[in-house]
Amino acid sequence: MAEFDVVIVGGGLVGGSLAAALRALPLRVALIESAPVRTPNQPSPDERVIALSLGSRRIFGGLGVWPAIAPVAEPILSVHISDRGYCGFTRLECHEVGVEAFGYVTPARALDQVLQEVLEPATNIHILRPARLLDHQAGPIGVALDIQVGDERRGITTRLLVAADGGDSSVRDRLGIRVEGHDYGQDAVVTTVLADRPCPGQAFERFTDTGPLAMLPMPGGRYSVVWTCRPTETAELLALTESDFSARLQARFGWRLGRLSAPSPRQAYPLRLRLVRETIHERLVLIGNAAHTLHPVAGQGFNLGLRDVAALAEVLGEAARCGQDPGSADTLADYKRWRGRDQVATAWLTDTLARLFVVPWRPVRLARNLGLLGLDLVPAARRRLARRLMGLAGALPRLARGLPLEAHHV
């Protein structure tokens, strides 16, 4: 029976990033992923783009993979926030905050490919794919796992099990871990479009009566679109011809980017808040969407998961240097103290924004528009909000400061 120090269930972007961080540590790590390996030129069903915050860009820098990501990443230099049909707006400019960019818009498949490439030669990382976890049993000194790898059934043990298996986490559901939250009664329609008057580096977040409409800059004058709509509208938006969809989006967003055209294949998914208050259990920790699934407003979901990765990697690094058990209650308590407040605060922020800007009552509309205008007039408030959204607030682990784990503390 194979023995590991850490087993990560879920080899997506969060689980893969954690494995990439742990490749620098003296730990024996297994990564269990259900999807088979994809070659660089193989078509992928995941054509999403991800808005990486500056904090996430620094985490990838600390992992040593940012130089491979940078050529396909478009910087976000400014953000225009408005309430459609009303006077409220605010503008965030990166030079006001003293940073090179608020973040970077990056294809998800490019991130996945880079992580795959750095994990392949790592001698302490054992990648099991296609594989799935059938069952596990936690005990005082370790966790016994029953896994299916291809056609073979295996038993392995680990001192720490990390659930990074997404919003529908089977690990979480198997244990009956309590999840708080609600459905928003909204869907997100995701696509990209071509703008004939692009504003390089400028992103837009326009709040509408059905939810936020985000337009994120990409190379070549294209924009990533996240259009929040009512579920009753979703099927129609997906079924529209390219020209009709572009016209509908144009009417919704306006002409700030000129004429919008050439939408890519559209996808839609329901929006919900799912938050696990107790993310640590006996020799188990939940990270990423397994611990918190957020509304896409302000683009915080994946970035919050990467901050989980940075903190957990640092805690495990400290445990390894001190010869401590990576799955002990003390080690996991250190992680919880670091991450609990940020997870709850970020969930509260996105939930408040998602709810507040669809309330039709006149006093609420007036208050939120005055709030946007007030924010635009107070630089200190804009800087504080920007640092929060960039993932730079509070004490930061080494990776979130762009520093590698193997370096000594100063």
What is the per-residue pLDDT for 77?
Answer: 97
pLDDT band for 39, please (50, 70, 90 cuts): low
What percentage of the chain exceeds 70 in pLDDT?
96
Mean pLDDT of the chain: 92
At 49-59, the pLDDT tens digits run 999 999 999 99
Residue labelled with tokens 């915050």: 53
What band does 369 get if pLDDT is binned at 50, 70 and 90?
confident
Tell me which of 254 and 408 has the higher pLDDT.
254
H-assigned helices in 286-378: 301-321, 329-356, 362-377
pLDDT score at 38? 67
In a domain? residue 258:
no
Pick the closest to residue 226 from 191, 194, 182 (CA basis): 191
Where residue 365 falls among pLDDT bands split at 50, 70, 90? confident
Give the CA radius of gyration of the chain: 21
Q: Which of 12-21, 300-309, 321-330, 389-398 has the lowest mean pLDDT?
A: 389-398
Q: What is the mean pLDDT of residues 33-39?
A: 82
**CATH number, domain containing residue 170:** 3.50.50.60
DSSP H helix total and E strand total for the chain: 12, 20
Distance, in Å, from the CA atom of 294 to the CA atom of 155, rounded to the nearest integer, reads 34
| pLDDT(367) > 90 | no
Number of CB atoms found within 10 A of residue 147's CB: 21
Res 160 pLDDT > 80:
yes
* DSSP letters for 287-310: -GGGTEE--SGGG-HHHHHHHHHH
- Mean pLDDT of the 86-113 span: 93
Does the residue 146 lie in any domain? yes
DSSP bridge pairs for 180? 275
Q: Left, alpha or beta for 184 (phi > 0: left; psi -120 to 50: alpha)?
A: alpha
Residue 367 belongs to domain spanning: 2-181+272-401
**Per-residue pLDDT at 131:** 96
Residue 164 lies in a domain: yes
Residue 195 lies inside a defined structural domain of this protein: no
Is residue 261 domain-resident? no
Q: Total structural domains in the chain? A: 1
Q: Which two tokens stand for residue 200?
A: 């390089």
User: What pLDDT score was predicted for residue 43?
Assistant: 45
Q: Given a cut of 50, is residue 410 above it in pLDDT?
A: no
Give CA–CA dist 120/47, Å, rounded: 23
Residue 407 has pLDDT above 50, yes or no: no
The least confident of 83-87, 232-236, 242-246, 256-260 is: 83-87
